[in-house]
Amino acid sequence: MDGNALKEPSFRESVDLMFNRAVSLMELPPGLEDKIRVCNSTYTVRFGVKLRGEIKTFTGYRSVHSEHMEPVKGGIRYALAVNQDEVEALAALMTYKCALVETPFGGSKGGLCIDPREWDEDELERITRRFAYELAKRDLIDPAQNVPAPDMGTGEREMAWMADQYARMNTTDINARACVTGKPPHAGGIQGRVEATGRGVQYALQEFFRHPEDVAKAALTGSLEGKRVIVQGLGNVGYHAAKFLSEEDGCKVIGIIERDGALVDEAGLDVEKVSQWIRSHGGVKGYSTHYGEDGGAVLEHECDILIPAALEGVINLGNADRIKAPLIIEAANGPVTAGADEILRNKGVVIIPDMYANAGGVTVSYFEWVKNLSHIRFGRMQRRQEESRHQLVVDELERLSKDSGIGWTLSPGFKEKYLRGAGELELVRSGLDDTMRGAYQAMREVWHERDDVSDLRTAAYIVAIDRVAASYKAKGL
């Protein structure tokens, strides 16, 4: 560890420093600042599961940062490095994130110290069910109070086990399915949740590039087309973001960094192929001659857009001054430490902050929760009615064309596209796009209109803290 690394604050301290920076520019009633900043509670659980002939003890956490709105919401992470500081930092970010994208939740987060790759599926199910039991017993999984979701190391499978565990313990709760989000569609999930966070990263960048003045602040020009992208972590979030940006927006993914090294190819990497390779080989090593062992060095490569999508603290005091990307979008939570943030700001790098950039997950989780509580799929009532109204218009246009003798014909593919009523996936994507555009506008207004705000992160914090403060004030606190 070098001298600089020693001065690095912890993840939670980093989040607090960024929070403090924003509140120093706000006028909050005395004491409210502290009330918002502190984490309300953290529950630590140690439980044993009999596995491989012996009792294995696991440690897990569930932190509730703010209950200004309930239920509280936030993912559950499975990783060996999980600790209380990290879970509390992530819970705080959830509070601000939910406020920024206007999902009606307080912030929470959970974690289990485990390397999921060390256990087979049956073992993981037993461990997950036991963890869920411990949390549900204390209302830390509950549709009205605390609703977990996937995070690093967990996905649809774990959420389905947790939901089932809760349902077994609450057999008459008609809303049991709303106790966690990120479930598979056949177990009460919603279309588009798996892709949601990566999709949100794409929508965030699309919105950013709709504003030439903002693009210019990052010393870039034009649209997303042809932009050179490096992504760290090709898991759920990184894979979807890289896939959509390359397949739909014309970006070129020139670098992919994983645990075991990195791939760099100026001609552009095939995200789908690399992802399949990782799934079958456990890393990027051996994929092609473009492989190199030093993933850290690739973070410092020249590119237009850097997408850290793995874990926190990867851009820190030790490497911030060597980062060359002019635009960083924080797909992961907390990838840039408070110290690095300052260095990058001073260099003129534009950072699209985590609380906005990766809010697609919680936004679609909100839609899933609403779907579970309303017990009906989005679009089920309107879809065919919408189609028949569109059919009326098309029939009328065709009649007019024929009767007038003009002989107009509709463009190829128009009829098919126009006639199709929106299904659940289209509605989810539309709601997510709208949310990402709206939240960007709110941040941007503060960024552009206030002389004392020079970065998007501070702007995001100001918008979020203002909303949380308003909610506390309305409660009379």
Segment near ligand NAD (CB under 6 A); pick from 173-181, 307-315, 386-394, 453-461: 307-315
Report the residue number, 257 or 453, with the smaller CB distance to ligand NAD: 257
Does position 329 interact with ligand NAD (CB under 6 A)? The reply is no
Does position 74 interact with ligand NAD (CB under 6 A)? The reply is no
Report the residue number, 263 or 332, with the smaller CB distance to ligand NAD: 332
Angle, alpha carbons 339-84-260 (nearest 5°): 65
- Phi/psi for 51 (5° steps) reads -140, 140
The H helix count followed by the E strand count for the chain is 18, 12
For ligand NAD, the binding residue among 358, 363, 435, 458 (CB under 6 A) is: 358
Does position 333 interact with ligand NAD (CB under 6 A)? The reply is yes
Helix, strand, coil share (%) of the chain residues, nearest 5: 50, 15, 35
3-state secondary structure 128-140: HHHHHHHHHHCCC
Rounded to 10 deg, the angle between the 271-281 and 236-248 helix axes is 160
> Which pair of tokens denotes residue 228?
């050179």
Report the residue number, 110 or 143, with the smaller CB distance to ligand NAD: 110
CA nearest to 335, candidates 370, 299, 377: 299
> Which pair of tokens denotes residue 417?
């596209």
Which parts of 222-241 interact with ligand NAD (CB under 6 A)? 232-238
For ligand NAD, the binding residue among 309, 327, 456, 469 (CB under 6 A) is: 309
The owner of tokens 């966070």 is 197
Catalytic residue among 109, 183, 217, 227: 109
- Alpha helix segments (H runs only) across 249-382: 271-281, 295-299, 338-347, 354-357, 360-374
Does position 352 interact with ligand NAD (CB under 6 A)? The reply is no
Which parts of 90-119 interact with ligand NAD (CB under 6 A)? none
**Smallest distance, Å, CB 88 to ligand NAD?**
14
Report the residue number, 220 or 234, with the smaller CB distance to ligand NAD: 234
Catalytic-residue membership of 347: no
Segment near ligand NAD (CB under 6 A); pick from 40-48, 54-62, 309-317, 382-390: 309-317
Does position 311 interact with ligand NAD (CB under 6 A)? The reply is yes
Residue pair 208/169 in contact by the 8 Å Cβ criterion:
no
Residue pair 163/147 in contact by the 8 Å Cβ criterion:
no
* Catalytic positions: 109
- Residues contributing to the site for ligand NAD (CB under 6 A): 150-153, 197, 232-238, 257-259, 295, 309-311, 331-333, 358, 361
